[in-house]
Amino acid sequence: MAIRACLGLMILLVFSSTISTALFEDQVGLADWHQKYIGKVKHAIFHTQKTGRKRVVVSTEENVVASLDLRTGDIFWRHVLGKIDRIDQVDITLGKYVVTLSSGGSILRAWNLPDGQMIWESILQVSAPSKSLLHVPANMNVGKDNLILVFGGSSIHALSSTDGQIVWRKELSTNSLEIQQVFQPHDSDIIYALGFIGSSEFVAYYVNYKTGEVLQQSKASFKSGFCGEASLASDDVVVALDASRTYLVSISFRNGVINFQQIYIRDLIPEFSGKATLLPSKYNGILAVDIASSIVLLRVKGVNELEIIEKINYPSAISDALPLSKEQQAFAILQHDESRIHFKVKFDTDLTNEVLKETIQMDGQRGNIEKVFINNYMRTDRTHGFRVLVVMEDHSLLLVQQGEIVWSREDGLASIVDSTTSELPVEKEGVSVAEVEHSLFEWLKGHFLKLKGTLMLASPDEVAAIQAIRLKSFEKNKMTRDHNGFRKLIIVLTRAGKVLALHTGDGRVVWSVLLPVLRKSETCGNPFALNVYQWQVPHHHAMHENPSVLVVGRCGHNFDAPGIFSIVDAYNGKVHNSLVLEHSVRHIMPLPLTDSTEQNLHIVIDDNLHAHLYPKTSDSVKIFLDEMPNIYWYSVEVGKNIIKGYSLEIKGELDMAENVFQPKELWSIVFPSESETIALTATRKMNEIVHTQAKIVADQDVMYKYISTNILFVATVAPKASGEIGSATPEEAWLYAYLIDTVSGRILHRVSHQGAQGPIHAVVSENWVVYHYFNLRAHRHEMSVIEIYDQSREDNKDVWKLVLGKHNLTAPISSYSKPEVTVKSQSYFFTHSVKSLAVTVTAKGITSKQLLIGTIGDQVLALDKRFLDPRRSVNPTQSEKEEGIIPLTDSLPIVPQSYVTHALQVEGLRGIVTTPAKLESTTLVFSYGVDLFFTRIAPSRTYDSLTEDFSYALLLLTIVALVAALLVTWALSEKKELREKWR
Amino acid sequence: MEKGKGLARRWAVEFAENSSYSSSTSDVPDPIGFNRSASDPDDANASRQKKDAESAWKSQKAWEVAQAPFKNLLMMGFMMWMAGSTVHLFSIGITFSALWQPISALQGVGKVFEPYKDSKVDILAPKLLFIALNLAALALGVWKLNTLGLLPSHASDWVSSLPPAPEVEYSGGGLPIH
């Protein structure tokens, strides 16, 4: 008995040791990569005065404030503010603090310039979030406590720049005031604040800088109204645009007397038509106006006199003014000329001559220049040199100096909209001999080093060399398909409309293309990217063709805006076809059907609920018509609280050229709007593969999973509790979870959680759904699991019938057969709030699953699905233990070693995408946000392959040693036998 | 010892024609008064007795051999009980040896009873017992295999390899994409 117990203990140890899947320190970077981005730059402040590290501080549209190395573009430090904490402005004060104003002028923070530590933070009382301005006085008198002025809403705050204390606060006691310009004439204590009240009144305040006292205030109204843009031309003249954006209004406000002067733009610029925009700039007496085709520089000569200086044809960009001395300012003009960019720098004192003129070659896939920031440096001959930081249309950031692009950052990758994966090309025969020899030598050398490392004979230098070899493995970065399916292309679509292919080996950009149809044009004024789908995946036929992806966009933000299609080659980024559709895009359904060239069939539902079939070929129509009676679709209307199900039908004759099908409403589920609102829906991934329909439970019993791709998980919450956590009491908050069959509209299961509210995250896989929400009663987050089983197959338990194949388990099933289902569910507490939920997928679906949880700390946590098993009980029986059921606990454990992202953070995490590798045990995980992170994980360990650090050399050595030993002993025994015989 | 044995008779050449009777004195005539035929019945009786004893001994031995697997069976049973019912190296090893032993014994059943083969000895019964006991041992092995869960005797063993049933309908859609 004691032996049995001992054995049992041993087995238990063996089993329990398989749970942890942590990483060793030297394994970091072998299979994973991490890239840091900042997003599209909005503001940039250079800090180059002091000797030492030159840097530029930027704030971006992804709410990142970062300090970049001006020499290389690397990030010194970076802070990602929350999603709702929009950065309004950024500046540098006292020469050592970076000040950021965010959240509609209500939060002011100071960061230490060298290392990015927060120095202080002030919350300002702002009546309503509105356009806000930050004013940091330029005259830096050392020793004097400089005040930072924040204009926001109808108030002015003055804060001490050393500690963020509010020194004074002035309420300007007017509603709907919007301060447009703030300036401080040199060496004066008076601040001029100019703005608009409503849309027609102009107001000028003179405020004492030290006390906040309003010295003078003058108002005047202008009858045709303002559009809200104004540009300061000189110390006493402001130029604004009127409401129709066709007149320039020059406003003089000298000594509190306000005069308006209206100038028709067409009088100045005869070819002007449409609407003008004022470019925000601060030049002495110069104004930049953006009219549709070009940028016009105007000189303000007097109150009513404007003169055209220069017209710069579009596409071009112009920088802010850079003060060089008290009376001289410089600004940069960048102008496109096909693939070249002309870079000019001018002084405002001498506009006809250029100080600097350079031409730069530019990659065509970056689009037009959007923003330019200028900075100067001293050359050795004491003249000014200039460098510019350029923000391109694809959100990339470049530094241009001396006619060259010094560095560039692909910051469009901080705003990924959607992603998919593609296989790499198959390896061709005929590798050159030299390469083989080289790699053979390298291989031997590498293995020799590895062997030394294994035998602990390596010196520290050699250990470093081993690590370098492992990290820069030639194998993982090849541009061909590998046996394990680890090498793939991740094809991402960014918000700028750029499609990039990243290599899974090291994350480098293989190709990128800025889609022409997703750029602003006359036909499509405001295009934006939506999704990316697999268009053509050649498997058996059409092998000579490259796989391609379908990029879907829309012209404008309304649902009835026309859709945009673009088909891009996945190997080289060539755009095969792109078109602006005649109809809108409301839903896209990739069908599980392919045509003869292995193009996936897609159904596009437009805003009139008409269905369009793509690709528009007669071949695809023929294939589709065969399957049409079995194709259904449904629409979730969140605002109306309705889910409607439709089938497709042909009314009258089918137009073969158009392929338009009409909807036929089949069912609808109406949620009572006084008690429920739809909070979230989730479905299974279409490409998920399930290995088996049976779940073997304790004692060899079988439960049949209800596996259907047509399951829709819907979570509804009480309307009162649809806000943030804490906005409702536990009594008035509830959450309903539904499982709905989307073919027949049947509600398979419904469960309520009293006192629960969102935000809800859910993931559906196989026959289960896991969802995460907040429990108001327990004041904790909870995760629930629902597993759904098919009761109608339960009687398939006769072994002989199964042996002889007399069962109906593999017969096709229909949703209309209404199988009886049973449901098992369980809830657990979970410590973290969640940003994203995903589940691992493997090639055959055999490997056990792990949930991937994007935590609030921007990390990805892997949690075994076994912890979320509804059959967990407090005291599992022996057979349940053998099955691997974990004893019930009230909360889910967070094992620090099971963070997929180990020590890294994927700042601003928005999505986790999993793709199966060819190797069954392995899943590729790509998570994106502001940062990108890729790794591969094996939920049940790599049971089907040797680990990366397996020493082949040691194995070889062992074999050789064994063979040698065998030969020696054989020879010895032969000798002995012979001697024996002679005796 | 071995050397002595070797020395005893390294080699021998028999030149006589009827070498088979080398030790007997067949060439020499019988002494007078010796009736070879008279002594026959007595001699025959003795040899029959001897033969009977031998066959009895043989059959006894055969029965012993036939019963030998029983002890084995008991030992195997004990070993199996020791090994427990979880799958690991020991239990699998023991189970497979428990399966292999009876099978190999059954294969060599003729050889085992070869020495006891005699026209007078009935070795069928011991043979059958031997076979029966070995079959019992085999059954025990199979039973053990089953308790280890290595036999496809449950519905679960046949179902898990079946692919999920294909679905007739396909449905897509969801929230309007934005």
**CA torsion sign, A786 to A788 to A791 to A794?**
negative
CA–CA separation, A377 and A398 (whole Å): 17
Indicate whether B50 belongs to any domain: no
**Cross-strand partners of A915:** A924
Say what the pLDDT of residue A436 is. 47
In chain B, which among 5-44 make CB contacts under 8 A with chain A? none
Q: Does residue B175 belong to the interface with chain A, where contact is any CB pair within 8 Å?
A: yes
Measured between beta carbons, the chain B residues lying within 8 angstroms of A748 are none
Whether residues B156 and A690 touch (CB distance < 8 A) is answered with no
Whether residues B161 and A812 touch (CB distance < 8 A) is answered with no
Q: Which residue, among A714, A80, A7, has the nearest Cα to B91 in the 3D structure?
A: A7
Residues above pLDDT 90, as percent of chain A: 33
* Tokens matching residue A914: 């999993």
CA–CA separation, A858 and A138 (whole Å): 38
**pLDDT digit string, tens, across residues A161-216:** 888 888 888 887 667 777 888 877 766 778 888 888 877 888 888 888 888 788 88
Whether residues B170 and A712 touch (CB distance < 8 A) is answered with no
State the Rg of chain B over Cα.
Answer: 33
Measured between beta carbons, the chain A residues lying within 8 angstroms of B157 are 700, 799
* Tokens matching residue A766: 């196989």
State the Rg of chain A over Cα.
Answer: 34
Whether residues A11 and B86 touch (CB distance < 8 A) is answered with yes
A17 CA to chain B: closest CA distance, Å?
16
In this structure, which long-range contacts are made by residues A292-301, counting pairs with CB atoms below 8 Å and at least 24 apart in sequence? Answer: A296/A268, A296/A269, A297/A351, A298/A268, A299/A351, A300/A233, A300/A234, A300/A237, A300/A239, A300/A250
How many helices, marked H, and strands, marked E, lie in chain B? 6, 1
Please give the ipTM for the structure prediction.
0.77
Indicate whether B133 belongs to any domain: yes
Contacts of A699 (CB under 8 A, 6+ apart): A879
CA–CA separation, B47 and A244 (whole Å): 140
Indicate whether B107 belongs to any domain: yes
B170 CA to chain A: closest CA distance, Å?
5
Compute the average pLDDT of residues A772-801.
88
Cβ pair A291, A305 in contact under 8 A: no
Cβ pair B143, B125 in contact under 8 A: no
pTM, rounded to two decimals: 0.84
* Tokens matching residue A869: 């098993």
Q: For chain A, how are helix, strand and coil distributed in percent, rounded to 5?
A: 15, 45, 40
Whether residues A696 and B173 touch (CB distance < 8 A) is answered with no
The domain locations on chain A are 315-414, 417-427+478-577, 429-477, 586-670, 958-982
Whether residues A815 and B169 touch (CB distance < 8 A) is answered with yes
Indicate whether B161 belongs to any domain: no
Indicate whether B108 belongs to any domain: yes
Strand ordering across the sheet containing A190-197:
A177-183, A190-197, A201-208, A214-221
A-chain residue closest to B165, CA distance? A810
Whether residues B90 and A7 touch (CB distance < 8 A) is answered with yes
Q: Annotate A35-55 with three-state secondary structure.
A: ECCCCCEEEEEEECCCCCCCE
Domains: count for chain B: 1
Domain that holds residue B84: 67-150
Whether residues A812 and B168 touch (CB distance < 8 A) is answered with yes
CA–CA separation, A394 and A37 (whole Å): 14
Whether residues B166 and A812 touch (CB distance < 8 A) is answered with yes
**pLDDT digit string, tens, across residues A201-249:** 888 888 888 887 888 888 888 877 787 777 877 777 888 888 888 888 8
Whether residues B171 and A632 touch (CB distance < 8 A) is answered with yes
Say what the pLDDT of residue A59 is. 92
In chain B, which among 76-135 make CB contacts under 8 A with chain A? 82, 84, 86, 88, 90
User: Which of A592, A638, A809 lies nearest to residue B159, judging by beta carbons?
Assistant: A809
On the 0-12 / 13-18 / 19+ scale of CB atoms within 10 A, B111 is exposed
Measured between beta carbons, the chain A residues lying within 8 angstroms of B85 are none
* Tokens matching residue A348: 């405002």
Whether residues B156 and A700 touch (CB distance < 8 A) is answered with yes
* Tokens matching residue A340: 């070249």
Cβ pair A287, A277 in contact under 8 A: no
Measured between beta carbons, the chain B residues lying within 8 angstroms of A702 are 154-156, 159
What is the enclosing helix (H) or strand (E) of A394? Answer: none
Whether residues B88 and A7 touch (CB distance < 8 A) is answered with yes
**pLDDT digit string, tens, across residues A67-97:** 999 889 899 999 998 888 888 888 888 888 8
**CA torsion sign, B123 to B125 to B130 to B132?**
positive
What phi, psi does B129 have (nearest 5°)? -60, -45
Whether residues A632 and B169 touch (CB distance < 8 A) is answered with yes
Whether residues A796 and B165 touch (CB distance < 8 A) is answered with no
CA–CA separation, A109 and A121 (whole Å): 4
One-letter amino acid of B66: A
Indicate whether B41 belongs to any domain: no
* Tokens matching residue A878: 């022996």
Measured between beta carbons, the chain B residues lying within 8 angstroms of A691 are 163
A-chain residue closest to B78, CA distance? A1
* Tokens matching residue A124: 């300002």
Indicate whether B164 belongs to any domain: no
Determine how β-strand A118-123 pairs with β-strand A107-112. Answer: antiparallel
Say what the pLDDT of residue A219 is. 82
Say what the pLDDT of residue B95 is. 87
Q: Which residue matches tokens 């949620």?
A: A671
**pLDDT digit string, tens, across residues A397-434:** 999 888 888 999 999 999 999 999 998 888 765 444 44
**CA torsion sign, A895 to A901 to A904 to A908?**
negative
Whether residues A743 and B169 touch (CB distance < 8 A) is answered with yes
A918 CA to chain B: closest CA distance, Å?
19
Compute the average pLDDT of residues A313-338.
81
More confident residue, B96 or A477: B96
Length of chain B counted residue by residue: 178
Compute the average pLDDT of residues A112-131.
84
Report the first-to-last Cα separation within chain A, whole angstroms.
Answer: 54
On the 0-12 / 13-18 / 19+ scale of CB atoms within 10 A, A51 is exposed
B69 CA to chain A: closest CA distance, Å?
26
Measured between beta carbons, the chain B residues lying within 8 angstroms of A716 are none
Q: pLDDT band for position A282 (50/70/90)?
A: low
E strand intervals along chain B: 170-174
User: Is the predicted pLDDT of residue B24 greater than 60, yes or no?
Assistant: no
Measured between beta carbons, the chain B residues lying within 8 angstroms of A799 are 152-155, 157-158
CA–CA separation, A350 and A355 (whole Å): 9
Cβ pair A518, A543 in contact under 8 A: no
A537 CA to chain B: closest CA distance, Å?
20
Q: Output the CA–CA distances (angstroms, integers) from residue B30 to A462, B24, B34, B152, in the order listed.
A: 101, 12, 6, 78
User: Is the predicted pLDDT of residue B40 greater than 60, yes or no?
Assistant: no
A-chain residue closest to B154, CA distance? A799
Compute the average pLDDT of residues A950-973.
93
Length of chain A counted residue by residue: 983
Say what the pLDDT of residue A493 is. 94
User: Is the predicted pLDDT of residue A941 greater than 90, yes or no?
Assistant: no
Q: What is the DSSP string of A105-137?
A: TTEEEEEETTT--EEEEEE---SS---EEEE--
Determine how β-strand B170-174 pairs with β-strand A631-637. Answer: parallel
E strand intervals along A145-267: 147-152, 155-160, 166-171, 177-183, 190-197, 201-208, 214-221, 226-234, 237-242, 247-252, 259-264
For an interface test with A, give the residue of B170, B175, B178 to mutate (most A CBs within 10 A): B170
Whether residues B177 and A586 touch (CB distance < 8 A) is answered with yes
User: Is the predicted pLDDT of residue B122 greater than 80, yes or no?
Assistant: no
Cβ pair A130, A140 in contact under 8 A: no
Residue B95's SS3 state is: helix
**CA torsion sign, A449 to A450 to A456 to A461?**
positive
Q: Please give the interface size between A and B, counted as residue pairs whose CB atoms are below 8 Å apart.
A: 149
Q: Which residue, among A760, A736, A731, A762, has the nearest Cα to A749 in the 3D structure?
A: A736
Say what the pLDDT of residue A601 is. 92
Whether residues A709 and B161 touch (CB distance < 8 A) is answered with no
What phi, psi does A897 have (nearest 5°)? -75, -15
Q: Annotate A494-517 with three-state secondary structure.
A: ECCCEEEEEECCCCCEEEEEECHH
CA–CA separation, A17 and A792 (whole Å): 39
Beta-carbon count within 10 A of A500 CB = 24
User: Is the predicted pLDDT of residue B5 greater than 50, yes or no?
Assistant: no
Range with lowest mean pLDDT among A47-51, A290-294, A452-456, A545-549:
A47-51
Query: Taking each helix axis from N to C terminus, what angle separates B124-147 and B36-83, rounded to the nearest 10 degrees?
Result: 10
Whether residues A3 and B82 touch (CB distance < 8 A) is answered with yes
What phi, psi does A629 have (nearest 5°)? -60, -20
Say what the pLDDT of residue A402 is. 86
Indicate whether B115 belongs to any domain: yes
User: Is the predicted pLDDT of residue A816 greater than 60, yes or no?
Assistant: yes
Q: Which residue, among B104, B79, B102, has the nearest Cα to B92 in the 3D structure?
A: B79
A486 CA to chain B: closest CA distance, Å?
26
